[in-house]
Amino acid sequence: MTMISALLLIAAPTAAAPVLDQRRSDQATAYAARRDGRLLGLREIEGRVVPTMKGAQYIGVDFDSGTGVYTLKFLRDGVVIWVDVDGRSGQVIGRTGR
């Protein structure tokens, strides 16, 4: 094993920790907001948006706890489509791709 490989193995878990902490924080924020009725649940958002994306494969979601926006990701004909949804109202507020 080279010195660079060894350093990468040591640094990798440390570099990933802030990302995991942020994801946990986003999940906790979303859960609390959903519980308190300030945010629609992911399943409700998916139930509104996924059926409108005919011919596209649903590949995942991101949630921004700062804005309360869900970003649903789809794939159609090799093109990624992002659909931004307001988590409070369930309204589509933006879309990129075709």
For 28-76, write each residue's pLDDT tens digit. 877 888 788 889 999 999 999 999 999 999 999 999 988 999 999 999 9
Mean pLDDT of the 84-91 span: 96
pTM of the entire structure? 0.70
The answer to whether 4 and 10 have CB atoms below 8 angstroms apart is no
Sign for the pseudo-dihedral over CA of 11, 22, 24, 27: negative
Structural domain count, the chain: 1
Query: Which is more confidently placed, 16 or 90?
Result: 90
pLDDT at res. 18: 74
Selection from 58, 64, 74 nearest residue 27 by Cα: 64
Q: Which domain does 34 fall in, by range?
A: 3-96
Q: Both tokens of residue 75? A: 């794939």
